[in-house]
């Protein structure tokens, strides 16, 4: 089977995508710095898959390294060639992803997310690997109240994180648009990935401060955090809290598999594609659903709006449905149930 390089493959979305790729027989090479993740996620994947594939260890190659160092990326390609497992495509997750942190530390975000991707593209070109799925974000869009966001919407990021994602998209577009370019590029614009694998073995496990709502929710539910803060009660939405498109991480992972199948069979091109459910849920509604599904109480309080946030971010996912033959299968209740199952099974993380 084909060999895929997954940068940032031990992280939340990366680990679930690795699981799906391995289930389909791919060999995977994972490059990760472990800054905000752990190699234990891969050990858990092996536990999940060992019963159906006794040779699963031979299909996983985990290498510690940082995309800021071009030599670390070259090392992975060197190892793959030595093993006669030529890397045919890259799924690029590696990067920093907190909106609030990017406002405080913009230089760090530009260095990691943009300079790191340039290094990756240089090495891919050198080794004649010209197929890449890039982990982009809905934060590239200009916010439009109560309107689903399609790929044709205006891109006008509102924070450094969003700017770095959009800048990488522009770089990849420029690479693709060169005369006689052989690059196949798909930028997947995620909305709000949450939940966990139904086994409870892998889930969202940030090593430091939890910046996203979901790990904060589960940490409050299990008693590791006293309450959750909702940033803004006066947004122009139906209950005053921000409305988001929460997508189950396994639907997102399966979206990557569909995108990879599309990428490898189509002609060289550049595409930006949304991955979301098309359904908006407010932060307050999400908390209430989590409480109801799991029979737990989540204390919360309101704070002022965060700089860099938006009122409404919900996907028009019709392009993903038509091009990738992909449709999300799980709902908000599944998200709440699976994520809580992960946290109960891993009260202290991995």
**pLDDT 10s digits, 223-235:** 988 999 999 999 9
Q: pTM here?
A: 0.95
Residue 206 has pLDDT above 80, yes or no: no
* pLDDT tens by residue, 103-118: 899 999 999 999 999 9
Decide: 149 and 315 in contact? Cβ < 8 Å: yes
pLDDT at 193 (0 to 100):
95
Decide: 49 and 19 in contact? Cβ < 8 Å: yes
- d(CA 278, CA 328) in angstroms, rounded, equals 10
Residue 346 has pLDDT above 90, yes or no: no
**Lowest-confidence segment of 16-25, 173-182, 290-299 by average pLDDT:** 173-182
- d(CA 243, CA 62) in angstroms, rounded, equals 37
Residue 46 has pLDDT above 80, yes or no: yes
Name the burial class of residue 199, with classes exposed (0-12), middle (13-18) and buried (19+) by CB atoms within 10 angstroms of its CB. middle
Q: How far is CA 139 from CA 136, 190, 254, 310, in A?
A: 9, 9, 21, 9
**Lowest-confidence segment of 9-23, 43-57, 223-237, 323-337 by average pLDDT:** 43-57
* pLDDT tens by residue, 236-252: 999 999 999 999 999 99
Q: Which residues are catalytic?
A: 161
Residue 101 has pLDDT above 70, yes or no: yes
**Secondary structure class of 5 (helix, strand, coil):** strand
Mean pLDDT over 145-169 rounds to: 92
Tokens of 69: 């160092």
* pLDDT tens by residue, 180-191: 889 999 999 999
pLDDT at 210 (0 to 100):
67
Mean pLDDT over 18-23 rounds to: 97
Q: How confident is the model at residue 208 (pLDDT cuts 50, 70, 90)?
A: low
Q: What is the mean pLDDT of the chain?
A: 93
Decide: 173 and 258 in contact? Cβ < 8 Å: no
Q: How far is CA 264 from the centre of its chain?
A: 20
pLDDT at 98 (0 to 100):
85
pLDDT at 63 (0 to 100):
97
**Residue of 228 and 212 predicted with greater confidence:** 228
pLDDT at 55 (0 to 100):
85
- d(CA 303, CA 263) in angstroms, rounded, equals 43
The residues, ordered by sequence, that sit 6+ positions from 5 with a Cβ below 8 Å of its Cβ are 28, 29, 30, 31, 76, 77, 80, 87, 89, 90, 91, 129
């Amino acid at each position: 089977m084909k060999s895929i390089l997954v940068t940032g493959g031990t992280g939340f979305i990366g680990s679930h995508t690795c699981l799906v790729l391995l289930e389909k027989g791919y060999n995977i090479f994972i490059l990760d710095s472990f800054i905000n993740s752990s190699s234990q996620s891969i050990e858990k994947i092996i536990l999940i898959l060992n019963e159906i594939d006794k040779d699963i260890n031979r299909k996983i190659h985990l290498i510690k390294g940082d995309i800021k160092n071009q030599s670390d990326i070259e090392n992975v390609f060197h190892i793959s060639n030595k093993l006669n497992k030529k890397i045919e495509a890259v799924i690029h997750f590696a990067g920093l992803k907190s909106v609030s942190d990017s406002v405080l530390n913009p230089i760090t975000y530009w260095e990691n997310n943009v300079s790191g991707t340039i290094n990756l593209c240089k090495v891919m070109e050198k080794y004649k690997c010209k197929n890449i799925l890039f982990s982009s974000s809905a934060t590239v869009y200009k916010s439009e109240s109560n309107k689903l966001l399609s790929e044709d919407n205006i891109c006008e990021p509102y924070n450094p994180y969003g700017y770095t994602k959009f800048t990488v998209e522009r770089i990849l577009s420029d690479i693709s648009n060169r005369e006689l370019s052989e690059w196949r590029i798909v930028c997947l614009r995620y909305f709000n990935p949450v939940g966990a694998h139904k086994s409870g073995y892998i889930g969202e496990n940030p090593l430091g401060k939890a910046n996203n709502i979901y790990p904060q929710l589960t940490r409050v539910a299990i008693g590791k955090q006293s309450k959750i803060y909702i940033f803004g009660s006066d947004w122009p939405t139906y209950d005053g809290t921000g409305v988001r498109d929460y997508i189950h991480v396994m639907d997102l992972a399966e979206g990557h598999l569909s995108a990879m199948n599309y990428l490898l069979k189509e002609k060289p091109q550049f595409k930006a594609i949304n991955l979301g459910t098309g359904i908006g849920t407010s932060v307050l509604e999400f908390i209430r659903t989590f409480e109801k599904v799991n029979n737990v109480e989540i204390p919360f309080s309101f704070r002022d709006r965060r700089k860099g946030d938006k009122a409404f971010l919900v996907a028009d996912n019709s392009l993903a449905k038509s091009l990738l033959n992909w449709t999300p299968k799980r709902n908000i209740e599944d998200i709440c149930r699976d994520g809580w199952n992960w946290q109960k099974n891993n009260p202290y993380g991995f």
